[in-house]
Amino acid sequence: MLSVLTKERIKMAELKFEIVEHLITMSENPKGWTKELNRVSWNDAEPKYDIRQWSPDHLKMGKGITLSNEEFGVLLKELGNK
């Protein structure tokens, strides 16, 4: 029988993503990781706007934020008003 923790690890291993469109590279650290704004499809869902750090080969990622089209529109509108 699998423990709850083991089940969670298995779920995490099943994460599927595809960078559908690269929009901006905002910065790069000395190890080559880049902070990027991309359109990413998570687990074959509709692509969303995504800001996070990526390893040079884009196989590893850091924590980030994902925004729907509507949320991204609000962000752009509010930034335009500043």
Taken in order of first residue, the domains within the chain and their CATH numbers are: 17-80 (2.30.31.70)
Three-class secondary structure of residue 4 per DSSP: helix
For residue 59 the two structure tokens come to 């196989």
Strand 17-28, strand 34-42: pairing:
antiparallel
pLDDT digit string (tens) for 40-74?
999 999 999 999 999 999 999 999 999 999 999 99
For residue 74 the two structure tokens come to 């609000």
pLDDT digit string (tens) for 12-47?
567 899 999 999 999 999 999 999 999 999 999 999
pTM of the model: 0.80
For residue 31 the two structure tokens come to 């190890």
